[in-house]
Structure 1
Amino acid sequence: MTTASGRPGRLGSPGPLTRTERLDGLPFTRAHLRLLIGSGVGWALDAMDVGIMSFVLVAIGQQWALSTGERSLLGAIGFAGMAVGAALGGLLADRVGRRQVFALTLLVYGLATGASALAGGLAVLIVLRFVVGTGLGAELPVASTLVSEYAPTRIRGRVVVILESFWAVGWIAAAVVGLVLVPASDDGWRWAFAIGLVPAAYALYVRTRLPESVRFLEGRGRHAEAEAAVRTFEQSPPWRGAPPDAPPPPAAELPANGSEPEHGTSAAPQPEAEARAGVRALFSRGLRRRTVALWLTWFGVNFAYYGAFTWIPTLLVADGFSMVQSFGYTLVITVAQLPGYAVAAWLIEVWGRRAVLVSFLAGSAVAALGFGLAGSVPQILVAGIALSFFNLGAWGALYAVTPESYPTRVRATGAGSATAFGRIASILAPLVTLPLHDRIGTGGVFAVFAGAFLLAMVGASLLTELRGLRLEE
């Protein structure tokens, strides 16, 4: 049978499909592509801001004659803001909507980054970087949640990994800006920050053009808006270059009493009081293991990634390379992030989330050890390329599995809280990397990063495999 929208009803049942089932059964349409690119551009701008800082730190450290402690603080303060932003952003997104928070975060960190270009001293720049971090931290889990809730079930993981791949685009843009602008003059780092105003302008596009989550709208009783959003995607033609279909998900089982949800509602609508359960719900009986596993994984990945990539340009300069050489090598290493995402996007619907995470984290650990032991430029580049490939592929899988691990009522809260816990590690890593380097050298520092990847592997191995399951399942 078919529904009023022309879509088939639930097999073996007289009732029509719910809105979320209608979304889950769609092909990858042009509307999906617009959402993916619209969210991905915001993601890339986020990455560009974070990446630019790793190059600016080299220039400011020399120009302002900063001590090791001052450089460490400046490198870490943005991640402190990201921890706050990730926690608050997820909570807000479950209360006022994914799209609203997405646009607000772009505006906040775009304006603060532009203001950073005018900073005249360390204290002012530290305050501004904290504000920037707050906006950055809130954006990422919210964007991944929004895309995850619209992506068809059979390719949901692949679509979210593709979203995450925009991070590499942004980081590559940051490397180009760092290589071209930062060394060009004493004010090069200021011009690099000025480019960060772009996200503030992009916030208007997000606010007016991207859709709100159907699941969120239904949870707030805004059924007419939810229906309109679903119909927009149903009426959108399939995109010819759509990601290839993964094997179809298992058929959803009916409740034991054979009852059907009312037409136009989600399969498991949540009352308002339950929707406000907050962080405590993440440690309820059914979610506790997933939360612990995700937090361990996020902590390990954040520590290793931000400890390494925030300071690779600085460490290369400390090991005797010029600023231009350091920035050039970092650009080459960064380009390898794109194929890492591509391979992870393909494998995630073939191997599953957990297998991709564990294997890519293992590759990251080996690559980190290799980078620490590298004694020549070719060895540095090979190990660095491998580190980028495996580390960013793991990031893609992690962003795919995190929002889908939680029910709608706490999905953004769960993703935001996991991200926020990981940001604790991203605060610690920039603080301890330079002091550790002074004591144990590059080899010792990257051995520590390899240990962090192993910790993340432990967490990933505890995750529940969710490939092919609908979000309501």
Structure 2
Amino acid sequence: MHESPRPAGSTSALTRSQRLDRLPYTTEHRKLLVGSGVGWALDAMDVGLVSFVMAALAQQWALSSGELSLLASIGFVGMAVGAGLGGLLADRIGRRQVFALTLLVYGLATGASALAGSLAALVVLRFVVGLGLGAELPVASTLVSEYSPRRIRGRLVVVLESFWAVGWIMAALIGYFVVPTSPDGWRWALVVGLVPAAYAVVVRRALPESVRFLESRGRADEAEAAVRAFERAPALGRSRPESEEQARAAEPAAAPASGTGGLWSAGLRRRTGALWTVWFCVNFAYYGAFTWLPTLLLQQGFTLTTSFGYVLVITLAQLPGYAAAAWLIEVWGRRITLAVFLGGSAVSAVLFGIVSVGTVVLPWQVIGSGMALSFFNLGAWGALYAIGPELYPTALRGTGTGAAAAFGRIASILAPLSVPVLLGLGGERYDLVVVFAVFGAAFLVAAAATFALPEQRGRTLA
């Protein structure tokens, strides 16, 4: 990296990274957080809409479970490819550039999906949508992480992730109020997906490029201008800057890569293996459960409108889950917070399966256990996105977070395909018990793998 101290005349000899780390929370941080968060919410809205489109097309096009699984999984195939490519591109052409490009790709493809006249056309377009969606998430979290003061870095990334709940709630509202209204309701829902394409212009013009990336490319003047913009910005609330001594004393968060192995070098292989395991298990359980949730409720005898209404209420519990994780991640630390929320997810998943047994399914039990699953699962997602960028040095940060996300997307491909198989194993009476017990086991494996990750709270990014 080519960091340099502040210009002549300054009393500080801090590097630009240290200057960013010691800042209070400012209006520029809020602008970056909200600007990135809107893109994140639009991503979640697009992913969430698929579950409602699936439920509608299951009736309108008489799709089989296998065809529905294909429709759900193909988007995750695209996300797996996109996550890997997005991370690599972010380390080569910049975080902001890739962020804007991904919004444009999946926004246009989603709008085009509204015109699909066959399952084959919809499947192709959902793959393209997935390319953009998969690339965006690790890039956005990396950009926010690299600008966040180290004392609140984890909290700000969790807040960024909480925009996912906003997007999913938007999808649930569209699913509830738009999809059931007419045979073309699902098409109008997908038309809304054009919004990210327009928002790409905002991202390209309004958000800053990563200072650490600019320095790694020798663009020192641009990096200095970006840091000064944050230093001049007014502080918000009671936030205060650190002293220069505190900034200098901060321990680096990421061990440098050694040898030629990159992510799998001696200094990084343990954390890479653990991170990939967590990503895989969380993706499998989350997307297996929530992609199929409206359809599974329909199979339990609820109407389309009632099922969508229950999913909307269940989704609302994501917001307090994120809020709790955002607070605890700077109090308990990254590992304990992630492990606790994954453990809570496992218990909630098993409970959801159990309350679905019997000839009479009580709505309050379905909603209660579903809300608990939303609360713990999305809190865990927030902690996971906060951890990833802290594990790698600047030259590998986008690649590392993108590679973990890409590996996790393999599980998100398998999860929707596995649900029909698991339903068959449980028989007519215990079908959902088996499905959600498997998801609960995946959460427990992820919780165990969390303890192989280094604790990075309060450390500065390398």
Q: Confirm or deny that 1:240 pairs with 2:237.
A: yes
Aligned AA for 1:32? Answer: H
8 A contact 1:154–1:468 mirrored in 2:
yes
Q: 1:424 aligns with which of 383, 402, 410?
A: 410
Q: What residue in structure 2 maps to residue 68 of structure 1?
A: 65
Q: What residue in structure 2 maps to residue 22 of structure 1?
A: 19
Pairing of 1:180-195 with structure 2 (within 5 A)? 180-195=177-192
8 A contact 1:20–1:267 mirrored in 2:
no
Q: What residue in structure 2 maps to residue 206 of structure 1?
A: 203
Pairing of 1:440-455 with structure 2 (within 5 A)? 440=426, 441-455=431-445
- Return the offset for 1:435: 2.8
Q: What residue in structure 2 maps to residue 80 of structure 1?
A: 77
- Return the offset for 1:67: 1.2
Structure 1 residue runs of 4 or more that deviate by more than 2 Å after TM superposition: 2-9, 244-255
Q: What residue in structure 2 maps to residue 388 of structure 1?
A: 374
1:340-371 CA deviation, whole Å, 9 max, x = no partner?
00000000000000000000000000000000
Q: What residue in structure 2 maps to residue 50 of structure 1?
A: 47
8 A contact 1:154–1:245 mirrored in 2:
no
Q: What residue in structure 2 maps to residue 311 of structure 1?
A: 292
- Return the offset for 1:247: 13
Comparing 386-395 with 433-442, which one deviates more in the overlay?
433-442
Q: What residue in structure 2 maps to residue 460 of structure 1?
A: 450
Q: Confirm or deny that 1:118 pairs with 2:115.
A: yes
Structure 1 SS opposite 2:455:
coil
Return 5+ residue gaps in structure 2 as ranges: 356-360
Q: Take 2:417 and 2:31, find their aligned partners in 1: how far apart are those partners? A: 39
Q: What residue in structure 1 maps to residue 130 of structure 2?
A: 133
- Return the offset for 1:240: 2.6
Aligned AA for 2:452? Answer: L
Indicate the RMSD between aligned Cα atoms, in angstroms. 2.4
- Return the offset for 1:438: 3.3
Q: Take 1:114 and 1:56, find their aligned partners in 2: how far apart are those partners? A: 14
Q: What residue in structure 2 maps to residue 216 of structure 1?
A: 213
Q: Confirm or deny that 1:90 pairs with 2:76.
A: no
Aligned AA for 1:341? Answer: Y
Q: What residue in structure 1 maps to residue 358 of structure 2?
A: none
Q: 1:347 aligns with which of 324, 328, 333?
A: 328
Structure 2 SS opposite 1:221:
coil
Q: 1:370 aligns with which of 339, 348, 351?
A: 351
- Return the offset for 1:434: 2.3
Aligned AA for 1:340? Answer: G
Return 5+ residue gaps in structure 1 as ranges: 10-15, 256-265
Q: Take 1:54 and 1:5, find their aligned partners in 2: how far apart are those partners? A: 57
Q: 2:400 aligns with which of 406, 414, 435?
A: 414
Comparing 434-443 with 365-374, which one deviates more in the overlay?
434-443
Structure 2 SS opposite 1:311:
helix
* Cα gap change, 1:32 to 1:6, in 2 (>3 Å): farther
Aligned AA for 2:337? Answer: V
Aligned AA for 1:343? Answer: A
Q: What residue in structure 2 maps to residue 379 of structure 1?
A: 365
Q: What residue in structure 1 maps to residue 312 of structure 2?
A: 331
Q: Take 1:438 and 1:29, find their aligned partners in 2: how far apart are those partners? A: 54
8 A contact 2:334–2:387 mirrored in 1:
yes
1:144-191 CA deviation, whole Å, 9 max, x = no partner?
000000000000000000000000000000000000000000000000
Q: What residue in structure 2 maps to residue 13 of structure 1?
A: none
Q: What residue in structure 2 maps to residue 281 of structure 1?
A: 262
Q: Take 1:348 and 1:355, find their aligned partners in 2: how far apart are those partners? A: 8
Aligned AA for 1:393? Answer: G
Q: Take 1:389 and 1:72, find their aligned partners in 2: how far apart are those partners? A: 25
1:30-60 CA deviation, whole Å, 9 max, x = no partner?
0000000000000000000000000000001
1:213-256 CA deviation, whole Å, 9 max, x = no partner?
000000000000000000010011112386x999999664599x
Q: What residue in structure 2 maps to residue 12 of structure 1?
A: none
Aligned AA for 1:368? Answer: A
Q: Take 1:404 and 1:249, find their aligned partners in 2: how far apart are those partners? A: 22
* Cα gap change, 1:395 to 1:460, in 2 (>3 Å): same
Q: Take 2:402 and 2:9, find their aligned partners in 1: how far apart are those partners? A: 36
Q: Take 2:345 and 2:362, find their aligned partners in 1: how far apart are those partners? A: 20
Aligned AA for 2:332? Answer: W
Q: What residue in structure 2 maps to residue 263 of structure 1?
A: none
* Cα gap change, 1:318 to 1:219, in 2 (>3 Å): same
Aligned AA for 2:127? Answer: F
Aligned AA for 1:353? Answer: R
1:303-339 CA deviation, whole Å, 9 max, x = no partner?
0000000011000000111111100000000000000
Aligned AA for 2:368? Answer: V
Structure 2 SS opposite 1:105:
helix
Q: Take 1:49 and 1:29, find their aligned partners in 2: how far apart are those partners? A: 30
- Return the offset for 1:377: 1.0
- Return the offset for 1:439: 3.1
8 A contact 1:97–1:212 mirrored in 2:
yes
- Return the offset for 1:7: 7.2
Aligned AA for 1:94? Answer: D
8 A contact 2:6–2:14 mirrored in 1:
yes
8 A contact 2:22–2:243 mirrored in 1:
no
8 A contact 2:14–2:248 mirrored in 1:
no
Q: Take 1:208 and 1:5, find their aligned partners in 2: how far apart are those partners? A: 30
Q: 1:39 aligns with which of 36, 39, 52?
A: 36
8 A contact 1:155–1:245 mirrored in 2:
no
- Return the offset for 1:404: 0.8
Q: Take 2:310 and 2:401, find their aligned partners in 1: how far apart are those partners? A: 33
Q: What residue in structure 2 maps to residue 398 of structure 1?
A: 384
Q: Take 2:440 and 2:8, find their aligned partners in 1: how far apart are those partners? A: 52
Q: Take 1:307 and 1:378, find their aligned partners in 2: how far apart are those partners? A: 22
Q: Take 1:33 and 1:323, find their aligned partners in 2: how far apart are those partners? A: 39
* Cα gap change, 1:97 to 1:64, in 2 (>3 Å): same
Q: Take 1:249 and 1:124, find their aligned partners in 2: how far apart are those partners? A: 59
- TM-score, normalization by structure 2: 0.93
* Cα gap change, 1:162 to 1:320, in 2 (>3 Å): same
8 A contact 2:253–2:456 mirrored in 1:
no
Aligned AA for 2:397? Answer: R
8 A contact 1:302–1:425 mirrored in 2:
yes
